[in-house]
Structure 1
């Protein structure tokens, strides 16, 4: 009887001990799991998150080039003669409006020769009129009107149109056409004794002075349009990914203060063999700009990009 009671008591004690031990183990594991989660949570780095909003920004780039005038002419003499004084002297830095007289050469001999040829044509036409009236009465009046309006001091007007082949052959035998085209050639040659400004601009090189004997083929000077320039900038092939025609950029100089807006108007498709660079042409204008000055571009537009704060950079 006593043994049975003792057995029952021991069984109860063992059960209670097992329950207590299991609860202790469970609580210990929960504490360990909590501590491990805290440690893991402490190891996760914190980052700043921003929404991506692509737009056009200025990408840093450094390209340098030299200014050149796209409207530039080198003046050469097509005829010979003494240079005559003009109202505005043909000297470096002197501006001229479009159509203004730049250079005038002495043309007296050529002008008298032209007048002589016109007088000869007038005489030939006058001698041909009686036969025209008899053989080609229907054409007589137009040739008479041509004679009445003929002025040796004015540009030669076009000859009347012939109505029949016989009329044309008759005029040819009178040497009318040969004289006419010789005069037209002399008129065109006479124009070459005076050189006019093809556009508004300024003289950048003058090689002759009044009284100088100018010879055929001699270089007289240079004339440019100073209202607009192009920066011819060389860049590497890699930099072509950052610039394209139509981009607006800012130009800077190391010699004078200020900045000038420019527009990329052309990009050469040819790579220089020696330097492995490509030329970009940037149109720019301004009162302080001078030909052959050096300028640089600091940045170009970069499309579909987003700037990052400096803290985000490693």
Structure 2
């Protein structure tokens, strides 16, 4: 009895719950749908400028590294022990043009040269009587030549002669071979003394005084310090606006003082790593404490006149040479010709005058996006001729 009662209660609950669910679903279906609100269109404003071309003079500022106009290696042209000259052979030592930098032991070579000159004097002394008898026209010249010879100095010039018989006479007595042999030894002796070719300083010293150097050894490296250049890397697109001979301004580290320089060279190649072209600026008059090799300086090139051009912010351009214009209230892509790149701007031409070019970076902007010009209720009207010009330009590109 209790079992039948329990079953009846369960069935009744199921029927009641099912009926309630069915009625709820029916009421939902009968409820009228509420009208949907139309999506709110957000108006996008962009900043533009009307394309108008003019002549622009755009200076170019860039940083460059100070380098020496001459950087050479001091090479030993003879073998021997290195002795000090008139300057200390150490890194950082400064010297003047013509100063003796170092000496490679030369006593033996010097004594051997003096011995050869003494033999040469003896040869001439034995020839003078024969010259006086057989070739009297040359006796005065060769006597004077004999008197001018000093074993501590370079040989004087050999007297000139045109007589072929006299030439044979001198050659047969070995006077000519002895003379030119001594000249050769004098050249060898000079190789033992190393003189400064310019005003400069040592940047590296490999052999100090007391060391032994072989022929061809690099004793030191040195730079010229009274004639400095600034190597300025410039993007190749901008290098065409820099001409050899242009005057430039070189600023000190605090940009208080200004030095004047001149463009003297432009590299005929592009650096493979930086894709830039080196421009060399010579600075003649400078303060030694402000312009030092290895330092970086700001260089401002005056720039050339660029005709029929316009300047806009660099970040308004994408894909290197594309920009947005506003046409019929929508964004349109267009290509332009980039003439010069500055740090924050660029100079271009190629868009017909009168169009509104976007001069700010746009995020998530696509072509045909509806926009309005900032500061204007509606886009400025454009005539059909401008549209034809732009369409023709796009097809050409």
Q: How does the TM-score come out when normalised to structure 2? A: 0.58
CA distance in 1, matches of 2:65, 2:311: 33
CA drift of 1:147 comes to: 1.7
- Bigger RCO (CA 8 Å, 6+ sep): 1
Residue in 2 that maps onto 1:201: 200
Query: Deviation at 1:181?
Result: 0.4
Taking the aligned partners of 2:220 and 2:148, their CA distance within structure 1 comes to: 41
1:286-305 → structure 2 map (5 Å cutoff): 286-287=287-288, 288-297=290-299, 300-303=302-305
Report the Cα distance in structure 1 between the residues aligned to 2:300 and 2:248, rounded to whole angstroms: 8
Distance in 2, matches of 1:309 and 1:150, equals 79
Q: How far off its partner does 1:124 sit?
A: 1.2
1:297 to 1:163, Cα distance in 2 relative to 1, 3 A: closer
Alignment of 1:122-201 (within 5 A): 122-201=121-200
Residue pair 2:82, 2:102 contacting (<8 A) in 1 also: yes
Count of residues in Structure 1 that have an aligned counterpart in Structure 2? 261
1:132–1:65 Cα change, 3 Å: same
CA pair 186-134 structure 1, distance change in 2 beyond 3 A: same
- Secondary structure of the structure 2 residue equivalent to 1:242: coil
Note the C-alpha offset of 1:302: 4.0
Consecutive unaligned residues in structure 1, runs of 5 or more: 1-46
Q: 1:200 Cα shift?
A: 1.7
Query: What's the offset of the Cα at 1:218?
Result: 0.5
Separation in structure 2 between the aligned mates of residue 62 and residue 309 of structure 1, nearest angstrom: 17
1:239 corresponds in structure 2 to 238
Aligned partners of 1:148, 1:247: CA distance in 2, in Å?
Answer: 58
* 1:270 alignment partner in structure 2: 269
Residue 216 of structure 1 is matched in structure 2 by 215
Aligned equivalent of 2:101: 102
Report how far residue 163 of structure 1 moved.
4.0
Counterpart Cα distance in 1 of 2:115 and 2:301: 67
The DSSP-based 3-state class of the residue aligned with 2:197 is: coil
When residues 168 and 63 of structure 1 are mapped into structure 2, their CA distance, relative to the original with a 3 A threshold, is: same
1:131–1:233 CA distance, 2 compared to 1 (3 A): same
1:15-55 CA-to-partner distances (Å, cap 9, x unmatched) read xxxxxxxxxxxxxxxxxxxxxxxxxxxxxxxx9xxxx7x67
Deviations 1:219-264 (A, max 9, x none): 01122221232222222221124322233334457xx433544322
The 2-side partners of 1:280 and 1:199 are apart by 24
**Equivalence for 2:331:** none
Residue 116 (structure 1) aligns with: 115
1:262 partner SS:
strand
Report the Cα distance in structure 2 between the residues aligned to 1:164 and 1:298, rounded to whole angstroms: 68
**Matching of residue 257 in structure 1 with residue 259 in structure 2:** no
Distance (Å, rounded) in 1 between the aligned partners of 2:299 and 2:148? 63
Larger relative helix fraction: 1
Q: Please, which runs of 5 or more residues in structure 2 have no aligned partner? A: 1-48, 314-357, 360-397
2:27 aligned residue: none
C-alpha separation between the residues in 1 aligned to 2:92 and 2:118? 44
Give the secondary structure class of the aligned counterpart of 1:301: coil
RMSD of Structure 2 on Structure 1 (CA): 3.1
Change (3 A) 1:304 1:275: closer
Could you tell me the TM-score, scaled by structure 1's length?
A: 0.72
Give distance in 1, aligned partners of 2:244 and 2:144.
59
Give the corresponding residue for 2:376: none
Report deviation, 1:171.
0.7
